[in-house]
Amino acid sequence: MRETFDRGQDDRKPPRGREWFVRLGLFGLLAGIYLLCPVSYWPMPLTLTTGEVLLTEGRWNLDGCGNLPTTNEALVKIQVRSQEESHYYFPPGGVVSSLPVVAVARACGWSSLDADRNFLPQRETFLMAIVAALVTAGTGLLLYELMRTWLSVPTSLIVALVCGLGTQLLSTCGTTMWSQTWCLFFETLGLLLLVRGRSKTAAVVFVWAFFCRPTIVLIVLPVAVYLFWKNRNAAIAYVAIGAVGFALFVGFSYWIQDRVLPVYYCQLLPGSVTGINDPGEPPIRFEWWKLGRDLFSPSRGLFICVPVSLVAIWLGVVAWRKREGRSLLILLASMIVLHLLMLAFHTSGPGCCFGARYTTDLVPLLAIAAALGLRAKGERLGRVEWVAVVLFVVLSVSINLVGACSERTARWTWSPDLNQRVWHWHDPQWLAPLTADDAAG
């Protein structure tokens, strides 16, 4: 079978034991930093509680549990087999993926439910922070392995650290559980398997990533087209596994919610399909200003909150001009464009989070583009290039570190006009520690 992906040949491999030391050090450093970050936006309460109910009682509904949050969309009432039940709203993949942690926590005497089955929010927040830190540190390790496809150990380590500390991995995924936390882990794992020529296993991983967050289809579909272009037999197997996986997902959805797709996956469908949409919610339509918000606004824009993304794009252009991995760059560009077009359909902003959460899925894609550019340049930068790159890296790490460490950035989101506030250049979220009034618009 001929090579499907453009891969580098690294003749400078270190001794086996030394590279394992690098891997363990990277994972430990990232996990430690994430655990030390105090900010938690509590975006997906009930993730671990739902897992505990599933583990102990074998059911998905949360009926019978007391003290459940009523002001957060994590809990929805839906009709299941002619009965109204209280269900966890967000994707089920995060719940199932976290079951090992829930089992270990219960064995240690830690539970997010008390003896009377009442919800304990502080315990849930504590356990979610642990899960998020470990999973996101694992994502950073997978990014290192992905970079090793094209780059040497030192350069791969630097790129992985920049991704781990200067992007949404720090300010979004690493400190608390979002749907992106598990999805990004499986997305990166799937991409790693793809570049190593294991498209069938990658398809299985992508199927599970779909259980964690539906936006993974914006990665899966371009890969299918790319494989048909490069390797027809691999593409047929890849699509077949994806089709079987989707069929299993539909069956899973019927089991837990008695419908074709869980309610979370129906956000772009009419309310008559989901049964839970707010009649006052604005209609779903393509609007360019939403894309501008997620790219250029001072508090949600990718290029503002993660300026190092501009370096990745520049390196991708360098790789293209030097004919380094052009087919792979086309694949990456198609994934990024599809993701950005999807952002223009969202009816609301990213909510009470920090920075460019909606573009979190782009981190491994931009990292690959950067790796191709660095390989094209022989992993060498000119003096001016070094200064510019270091400047953008320092800015990115500083901005995302503020989001992960300052509680004032969380209180900044309490503003009643949040969707307007994200556009205020005089009051960006990452400068919240310097402002006098957290909730002032």
How is 228-239 classified by DSSP, letter by letter?
Answer: HHH-HHHHHHHH
Q: Is 132 within the bounds of a domain?
A: no
Token reading at 117: 């089955």
Q: Is 170 within the bounds of a domain?
A: no
Q: Which of 274, 306, 326 corresponds to the end of one domain?
A: 274
67: alpha, beta or left? (left if phi > 0; alpha if psi -120 to 50): left
For residues 377 and 288, the model is more confident at 377
Q: What is the pLDDT of residue 345?
A: 78
Q: What is the pLDDT of residue 319?
A: 97
Cα–Cα distance for residue pair 225/102, rounded to 1 Å: 38
Q: Residue 86's domain spans which residues? A: 47-119
Q: Is 135 within the bounds of a domain?
A: no
**Residue 82 shares a structural domain with residue 64:** yes
> Number of structural domains, the chain?
3
Q: Which of 221, 249, 274 corresponds to the end of one domain?
A: 274
Cα–Cα distance for residue pair 268/19, rounded to 1 Å: 45
Q: Is 69 within the bounds of a domain?
A: yes
Q: What is the residue-wise DSSP string for 375-401?
A: HHTTT---HHHHHHHHHHHHHHHHHHH
pLDDT at residue 267 above 60?
yes
**Residue 264 shares a structural domain with residue 302:** no
Q: What is the pLDDT of residue 218?
A: 93
Q: What is the mean pLDDT of the chain?
A: 87
The answer to which of 65-74, 177-186, 187-196, 383-392 has the lowest mean pLDDT is: 65-74
Give the whole-number percent of the chain exceeding pLDDT 70. Answer: 88
Cα–Cα distance for residue pair 428/355, rounded to 1 Å: 10
**Residue 288 shares a structural domain with residue 426:** yes
Cα–Cα distance for residue pair 146/137, rounded to 1 Å: 14
pLDDT band at 269; cut points 50, 70, 90: low
Cα–Cα distance for residue pair 282/284, rounded to 1 Å: 6
Evaluate whether 309 touches 369 at the Cβ level (below 8 Å).
no
**Residue 259 shares a structural domain with residue 295:** no
Contacts 24+ apart (CB under 8 A), 415-422: 415/439, 415/440, 415/441, 416/441, 417/441, 418/349, 418/351, 418/352, 419/348, 419/349, 421/299, 422/293, 422/297, 422/298, 422/299, 422/300, 422/349
**Residue 256 shares a structural domain with residue 293:** no
CA 313 to chain centre: 19
Kindly list the distances between the CA atom of residue 40 and the CA atoms of 205, 409, 410, in Å, as whole numbers in the listed order: 28, 10, 8
Cα–Cα distance for residue pair 158/69, rounded to 1 Å: 41
pLDDT at residue 78 above 90?
no
pLDDT digits 0-9 by tens, 304-335: 999 999 999 999 999 999 999 999 999 999 99
pLDDT at residue 202 above 90?
yes
Q: What is the pLDDT of residue 15?
A: 53
Which H or E run includes 86? strand 83-88
Q: What is the pLDDT of residue 437?
A: 58
Q: Is 298 within the bounds of a domain?
A: yes
Q: What is the pLDDT of residue 272?
A: 42
Which residue in 227, 148, 142, 156 sits closest to 189, CA to CA? 142
Q: Which of 225, 248, 274 corresponds to the end of one domain?
A: 274
pLDDT digits 0-9 by tens, 230-239: 889 999 999 9
**Residue 349 shares a structural domain with residue 415:** yes
Cα–Cα distance for residue pair 62/72, rounded to 1 Å: 15
When pLDDT is averaged across residues 332-356 and rounded to a whole number, the result is 84
Q: Is 36 within the bounds of a domain?
A: no
Burial of 383 (0-12, 13-18, 19+ CB in 10 A): exposed
Q: What is the residue-wise DSSP string for 310-323?
A: HHHHHHHHHHHHTT
**Residue 300 shares a structural domain with residue 210:** no
**Residue 79 shares a structural domain with residue 108:** yes
Evaluate whether 75 touches 89 at the Cβ level (below 8 Å).
yes
Q: What is the pLDDT of residue 4?
A: 60
Cα–Cα distance for residue pair 350/354, rounded to 1 Å: 9
Give the whole-number percent of the chain exceeding pLDDT 90. Answer: 58
**Residue 307 shares a structural domain with residue 364:** yes
**Residue 332 shares a structural domain with residue 298:** yes
Q: What is the pLDDT of residue 438?
A: 54
pLDDT digits 0-9 by tens, 115-171: 888 998 888 888 999 999 999 999 999 999 999 999 999 999 999 999 999 999 999
pLDDT at residue 275 above 60?
no
The phi and psi torsions of 113 (rounded to 5 degrees) equal -125, 140
Cα–Cα distance for residue pair 376/46, rounded to 1 Å: 46
**Residue 196 shares a structural domain with residue 226:** yes
pTM score > 0.85 for this model?
yes
pLDDT digits 0-9 by tens, 396-407: 999 999 999 988
Count of other CB atoms within 10 angstroms of residue 378: 7
**Residue 101 shares a structural domain with residue 196:** no
pLDDT digits 0-9 by tens, 26-57: 999 999 999 999 876 666 678 899 999 999 99
Write the CB contacts of 170 (distance below 8 Å, at least 6 apart in sequence). 33, 34, 37, 164, 397, 400, 401, 403, 404
Kindly list the distances between the CA atom of residue 106 and the CA atoms of 61, 94, 300, 366, 421, in Å, as whole numbers in the listed order: 20, 18, 37, 39, 42
